[in-house]
Amino acid sequence: MSRNKSRQIGYAYSPEYTKLADLLPANIGRASLVDDMIRSHNLIEQCDDIISPCFASKDQLTAYHDSKFISYLLNEEDVTYSDSEDESDSGSHSSTHSSLPNEDVDKRLQERFGLEFDCPVFDGLDKYIRAISGTTIACARYLTSRNANDDKQRVAINWHGGRHHAGKDKCSGFCYVNDIVLGILELRKRFEKVMYVDLDLHHGDGVETAFAYSNKVLTVSVHRYDKGFFPGSGNSKFCGKGRGQNYTINLGLRAGLNDESLRRILRDVIWPSFERFQPEAVVLQCGADGLARDPTKEWNLSIRGLSSVILDIIDFGKPTLVVGGGGYNHMDAARLWCLVLGELLVGKEATEKWDMIPEGSNYIHMYVDDGYAYFPDEVRTINDLNSKDDYLDRVIEHTKMQIAKIDPILA
């Protein structure tokens, strides 16, 4: 397969942006590995466009997020808070927070806004959230700025975005602000209907909540679901609310999901949802934490297998915003996302020849345990429990009935 000449690829990149993305406590340094892998395969210069990362303004962030929440994250000193959530305290709080760990900060506001546990305050937090969100918004604008006479499919990629857990006024699950929601809102300024597909191991709860009442945004989340598994939402029976009924599709799956099962989900759920809904644009979250070697040890997807599903969704042919997400084996996340971009730019025939990490990589020493192989042994001895007791059959059948209730004309 050679490069698709009818497609225009925009990649969000700058060395300064990579450094800011590296700050995320859950994935320190991952952005550098990703962009180094892409650079060492000479892909950056082959992109049709480099999308300039930029800082989101407060107005852009509050297009969805609560103003007080954003003011606190941005470390604004002139904001007074009235803590209505604590009836025992009728006073107000004039508070700021420092990004330095030894500074005395307002612990109660940190708890209120979710700045604890998996979302700690860190030095440069304000710049980080503005850069991630601003860049996803810039990617959305890259898609909406397409000339009406241009018949090329535009694809915009921000591998350092994809923070799908963040709520309207609370950080959650390594996600401080929800750049995906902000990106979808930007897309909807031009495209009436947007389809969101989430392939992360964890449920895309923040995006789902934002659009649960909408019949203009169809959300499809393929995720691990079990009692006690974060974030605890995403039961296949939940399908939206109000006029958004049936426009929320959840595939809550068991441990061990493999390439074959994911491909079946693509065929029997994701593609039929797309055909039924007929969106004008697609947003695709490509979390890498379902890969076989991810330390979460929940799913058994291969780099090639997950990449092929991502590429097939891009091949639906609509303007597509592609973002990253989870992925805690940083080297495998870099392999996956570089492979996706590589196939888009140079084609499958070229990427099939990739066998070793390029010698020009600045981080080649980190791949020594894999013998510098691009595709290391990914097999784990874990059964796909979704095939047990016809579980996947039942989930898909339930979802098919829901898809049939989507009204493409109403939407």
Is 97 a known active-site residue?
no
As a whole number of angstroms, the distance between CA 303 and CA 292 comes to 8
Length of the chain: 411
Type of residue numbered 396: I
Name the percent of the chain in helix, strand, coil, to the closest 5.
40, 15, 50
| Cα–Cα–Cα angle for 198, 118, 60, rounded to 5 degrees | 60
Residue among 165, 203, 223, 330 flagged as catalytic: 165
Cα–Cα distances (Å) from 115 to 97, 128, 174, 209, 398, in that order, read 10, 14, 10, 20, 37
The closest alpha carbon to 183, from 217, 234, 230, belongs to: 217
Region for 196 from its dihedrals, namely left if φ exceeds 0, alpha if ψ lies in -120 to 50, beta otherwise = beta
d(CA 15, CA 106): 34
Counts for the chain of helices (H) and strands (E), in that order = 14, 10
256 neighbors 384 (Cβ within 8 angstroms): yes
Q: 69 vs 97, 234, 330, CA distance in Å? A: 12, 25, 30
Residues classed as catalytic: 165
